[in-house]
Chains A and B, each alone.
Chain A
């Protein structure tokens, strides 16, 4: 990003090629609409181009990029009256927490054998859409953006433990969907 800010256009090409898929899927999984995702995607990258001169490398570029994407998504939800980001205390009751805690730990052989087919992968996407937005956001930030727990916590403005809980719930629910399918 610093190279691009200095006028090297090829640096932007590399950044875009590296992060365009993750950001796009992050938006598509959140919006569920390719058209809206395209619009938000373009806005995010135009913002990257616009603020290149003031970019300060205080964190990884991916963290900064997904922060822009997250804020743009929140703005989109607020504009549509769908600001549903809630605390961890609101998106899971005790029963669900207990059920998730009762799930067995992941085993590498069993799920891997079951998700090899394409149909199961699509079911996974549908299961993700059923997750509460904070959990889905945390899951997408971890798996699409490659952000650490601390980075996700900073981005979502919550504690690391909260992020862990959100991820745990999201993964548990996805496992349930995978088990059901």
Chain B
């Protein structure tokens, strides 16, 4: 066991301290200290609760979200079809000469703006020369009063329609009402264009529901009809008005009612004679086809019966299966 005193020699320690004078060169000191300071300065600072980088962004995030939602909402609203104004539709559709509508006509004449009012109307209504604010107030009053006096027909109230079918419907209405409207003066000249007709509630009763085509729809298939209807849906208002001014022929009207919009467009542009295959007695259902073929065979017109069978096959791909057994044997002898 070594004595602890042997390990602690003060004389030796003093001698050692006396000779222990070596030190690192000053350049080395400076280099090490510079490195130490550089390391501390370049080190990333501690992140405190108030030093978050996202803090300045937080305050406007709700504003940005609200603005984005607003932009989207405005875009959606603009894409929606315009809502029909019931008051406007009622006022524009009321015939001026209708019984019991004289007071309404006077109120309508008051409601006409000065710059859009026709000369005749402005002459008959001295109130039109009043200042604009008073006129606007009177217009609002007239509209509010006109609503209960001329209620729209309940069957014509269609609050909203798809955009594509909107123009087609308007065009159909314009065709239907072309003749009587030509004689009826428009109360509002500014609404003589075709888009105004969309808001017009015609007094004519609604058309019956569309029926199946009277002839085999060989030339106009479903996609073609849809395409033609879409094309008509985007017809310019001027074109729609011009079409409305064309005298509607019975064939054109019938085609429109049958839904052959593509053919109707051509027929409206240039009134053409009905096609040779068009026949008012063309059967629609299977039973009618069978009765028609039987009648032709009974009359001895084999050629007509064969042609009717061919048309029946075109109309119905499974025409032979729909035939009764007696006619099936006869149809089997006739090639497709």
Contacts and interface: CB of A to CB of B under 8 A. Distances in A.
Asked if A pairs with B, the answer is: yes
Contacts of A106: 5-6, 9-12
**How big is chain B's contact interface, by range?**
35 or more
B18 interface: yes
Contacts of A45: 32, 35-36
B2 A165 contact: yes
Contacts, number: 120
Given A21-B22, A121-B19, A171 B36 contact: no
Interface in B22-53: 22-25, 28-29, 31-33, 35-37, 39-41, 43, 45-46
Nearest to B45: A7
Contacts of A24: 22-24
A48 to B, nearest CB: 8
Interface residues of A, number: 51
Contact of A167 (B7, B15, B25, B45): B7
A171 B6 contact: yes
B29 A20 contact: yes
A152 to B, nearest CB: 11
A154 interface: no
Contact of A171 (B9, B24, B28, B32): B9
A57 B3 CA distance: 32
Given A25-B20, A49-B35, A111-B15, A168 B7 contact: yes
Interface stretch (A8-16, A58-66, A78-86): A8-16
B24 A41 contact: yes
Q: Which 3 A-B pairs have the closest CB atoms?
A: A111-B11, A121-B19, A115-B15
Contacts of B218: none
Nearest to A163: B7
Contact of A49 (B9, B10, B36): B36
Interface string B78-90: 0000000000000
B11 A121 contact: no
Interface in B66-108: none
B31 A42 contact: yes
Contacts of A115: 11-12, 14-15, 18
Q: Give the most central of A28, A53, A108, A115: most B CB within 10 Å.
A: A115
A158 B2 CA distance: 16
A144 B16 CA distance: 9
